[in-house]
Chain A
Amino acid sequence: AQKITQTQPGMFVQEKEAVTLDCTYDTSDQSYGLFWYKQPSSGEMIFLIYQGSYDEQNATEGRYSLNFQKARKSANLVISASQLGDSAMYFCAMRPLYYGNNRLAFGKGNQVVVIP
């Protein structure tokens, strides 16, 4: 079974500054994928970024980057140059990458509020 832990309290971030959202995970699988999703107040879930357990490079997607530390089982999301539209809940998720299991396991989320 997979477990995702997101324990940071709600965060206030100044516009244009960077913010790091913590995510640690626990799994016995050797091959797995890590995902970050954004949920604004409107409620939809928006896919942001993916990191595979065997990827040697940290993933980047525009202003989003993933600080992947496999030995520490952490997959922190870094948002650079925060914008007001980044205010949302952010969820870390993972699933094994083997046949027969496609269940995403989610953490409880990190709340981010960007202030002008």
Chain B
Amino acid sequence: NAGVMQNPRHLVRRRGQEARLRCSPMKGHSHVYWYRQLPEEGLKFMVYLQKENIIDESGMPKERFSAEFPKEGPSILRIQQVVRGDSAAYFCASSPGGTGGRYEQYFGPGTRLTVT
């Protein structure tokens, strides 16, 4: 059973470039979440998606960040015009169900983004 897959595991971008992070949920999971972890911090929620729908984006910065989960293919977190403060570990998680129940979220290995 494949777990949550994320790629790339490490990504280096220069300031001003775009970063694209990919996440494939566990088989049978249709709910995807993105979290960001700054050094020495816990994870902070960014966005919750189902296929073709953004359910909750209350944790997303207002500018430069976007996320999608198309009908086919992985979920994508896109960061445009990256700045040094975007350097962090970005985790994707998936669950078999959404709100209203227990539904543990299972995490991928994360993408470590470094902005130079």
Contact = CB atoms under 8 A, between A and B. Distances in A.
Given A43-B110, A50-B104, A104 B45 contact: yes
A91 B114 CA distance: 23
Interface of A: 4, 33, 35, 37, 42-47, 50, 52, 91, 93, 97-109
B91 A35 contact: no
B35 interface: yes
Does more than half of chain A's interface fall in helix, strand or loop, or is it mixed?
loop
Interface string B99-116: 111111111111010000
Nearest to A109: B42
B14 interface: no
B72 interface: no
Interface of B: 31, 33, 35, 40-45, 48, 55-56, 58-59, 89, 91, 93, 95, 98-110, 112
A43 B10 CA distance: 12
Contacts of A104: 33, 35, 43, 45, 93, 105
Contacts of A98: 99-100
A101 B56 contact: yes
A52 B55 contact: no
B104 A91 contact: no
A101 B99 contact: yes
A56 B59 CA distance: 33
B81 to A, nearest CB: 26
B53 to A, nearest CB: 13
A100 B42 CA distance: 23
A102 B102 contact: no
Contacts of B55: 102
B43 A45 contact: yes
B100 to A, nearest CB: 4
Nearest to B44: A106
